Structure 1
């Protein structure tokens, strides 16, 4: 019943729209609630697929290009990065069953830490900036746990 309500009004999405909605929701991107964003990306992905097929790409190759267009700039969600920090650095303090709730509670409090980093860069995880962000988030989690506990 809960899933039915969550997806109500979104059943008219195409394959690409449903895929993107699931991806955004699973990774807790802010754009998951932005229907116009999803529709625009869906249209661009479908156009990329169609153009690739017209240019002679095999179906698999055209699909790969369409998926790239669909998820461009959406590789790293704030939630996923913070969850990774909590899971990797605080496994002893935050039990696995509390990790998701703890991450959800903490995310709004550390949102400003993300503001100086470009998470839309598909190579962000390979950059020195990712290491800086990871370190800053680790410090923020330490301060939070010291002050408020888990």
Structure 2
């Protein structure tokens, strides 16, 4: 007798594997604004959650205090972020993304969208429709994971 396989377990495993493959491709797609993965991750995080305290960036980016301080100093020097005092705590600093930093994220997203559009040309109409139908559920799944 064959052991029963949990359908949800199969879906999660297959989904995770596809997402891992797609993520690997996705992060390498843009041909513009080539910056380190950590730099881009911080800018992307700030594009959604700006301003943030350094300690919160340490937690989301999973880097050391020293590494995030050096990175934010470099980003500030390059005009991509700015530090401002936290109005609720004079001892703390908030990191804000600048228009230039947000522009990098936007230009990379635009470049990525153009490149992904070429992938869609290789799909059958019913495959494109399946992806379109899945977008609300995938959006909800991403929202559930944003708290991380």
TM-score range, shorter chain: under 0.3
Q: Which has the higher contact order (CA 8 A, sep 6+)?
A: 2
If the length of structure 2 is used for normalisation, what is the TM-score?
0.25
Which has the larger Rg?
Answer: 2
Which structure is higher in strand share? 2
Which structure is higher in helix share? 1
If the length of structure 1 is used for normalisation, what is the TM-score?
0.25
